[in-house]
Amino acid sequence: MKQYNETLQLFAAPLQTTGTEGLSAEMKTFYDGCLLDNAEPNLVHEQFGDEYPIPQGRGKVIEFRKFSRLNKAMTPLTEGVTPEGNTLNVTASTATVQQYGDYIQMSDMLDMTALDNTVVQATRLLGAQAGLTLDSVAREVLNGGTNVLYAPKVAEGVETPVESRKNLDKTCLLTPDLIYRAAAFLKTSLCDRIDGDYVAIVHPYVAYDLMRQEEWIDAHKYADPDKLYNGEIGKLGGVRFVESSEAKIWNDDSTPEGLAVFSTLVLGAHAYAKTAVTGGGLETIVKPLGYGEDPLNQRSSVGWKATSAIKRLSEEFMVRIESCSPRYSETAQAN
């Protein structure tokens, strides 16, 4: 497998119209940086995973290794006697690396007649696409977790537990109590915090319901702007919230009729692992007019390519809360 690097792919053919051999190093760096700058803000679901680089020449399967906690040593030592000691227990899980990518091809007439720098605009659009694609790959894996809390039904101040997604209704909203319950689950699982807190990924429609609560603290009141996560909006009950319109939405046969169901992922440290993407696995590819089979210099292109693998490592270190937001159900589409 190709080693991760930050270098743009060299051109397959020289630029026939100018006699140069391709873009300068400065231009390559610019296009690479432009794509990454536009990809990174969208990588919300990836930003809390343990990072595992892919060794060169190791094939398409990456192995994630997890060391189990040691049990308490409750047996008193006997004077002068060496105890049996303990051993490390390592659990290995694997994932197959997948490759993703896309490109935009432009004609010489477009280059000559367009008012805007089409390569720059294409690079920006492709960067956003790359980020959203890789983020969605991570989102689907994380939402496959086994620990789920369903928001209870509320009628005249009385809560009724819900045991399935299908049985949710318009009164099943995300509340501070559900966040406290999720945090308590992670604490009893001995889950480490991420920079001192747990983290939740929430959809804006659901965040609206939560931000009106008295317990809510806006992000600017507790954190330096340079230390905020991508999309961070606030904190409640020891959980920092990251808002993303790409948070999982269900609106299909598994949901109540006429209602969308929203996922709020509450995560601790070491819940999942990812391959290194930003700054290495995401590659920008710019081809000048005349590359490949193009005898009349009619085509150029810009594209991106990336490898990705996401793996849940510890199911007990993540909780998915499913709730509704009836005021937005008609506009919420499954993603």
pLDDT in tens, 181-208: 999 999 999 999 999 999 999 999 999 8
Mark 81-109 as b/e (b = at least 16 C-beta within 10 Å): eeeeeeeeeeeeeebebeebbeebebebe
Q: Are residues 51 and 192 in the same domain?
A: no
In a domain, 175, yes or no: yes
pLDDT at 162 over 90: yes
Kindly report the CATH number assigned to the domain that includes residue 255. Answer: 3.30.2320
Expressed as residue numbers, the domain containing 303 is 25-68+90-140+273-312
Tens of pLDDT, residue by residue over 193-249, are 999 999 999 999 999 889 988 999 999 898 888 889 999 999 999 999 999 999 999
In a domain, 44, yes or no: yes
Q: Are residues 244 and 320 in the same domain?
A: yes
pLDDT at 106 over 70: yes
Q: Are residues 211 and 298 in the same domain?
A: no
Q: Are residues 174 and 252 in the same domain?
A: yes
pLDDT at 5 over 60: no
pLDDT at 277 over 80: no
First to last CA, the chain: 31
pLDDT at 315 over 90: yes
In a domain, 321, yes or no: yes
What's this model's pTM, rounded to 2 decimal places? 0.84
Helix (H, G, I), strand (E, B) or coil at 141: helix
Kindly report the CATH number assigned to the domain that includes residue 43. Answer: 3.30.2400
In a domain, 117, yes or no: yes
Q: Are residues 246 and 285 in the same domain?
A: no
Task: State the total domains in the chain.
Answer: 2
Q: How far is residue 266's CA from residue 249's CA, in Å, rounded to a whole number?
A: 16
Helix residue spans in the chain (DSSP H): 25-39, 108-113, 118-142, 176-188, 204-211
pLDDT at 74 over 70: yes
In a domain, 78, yes or no: no
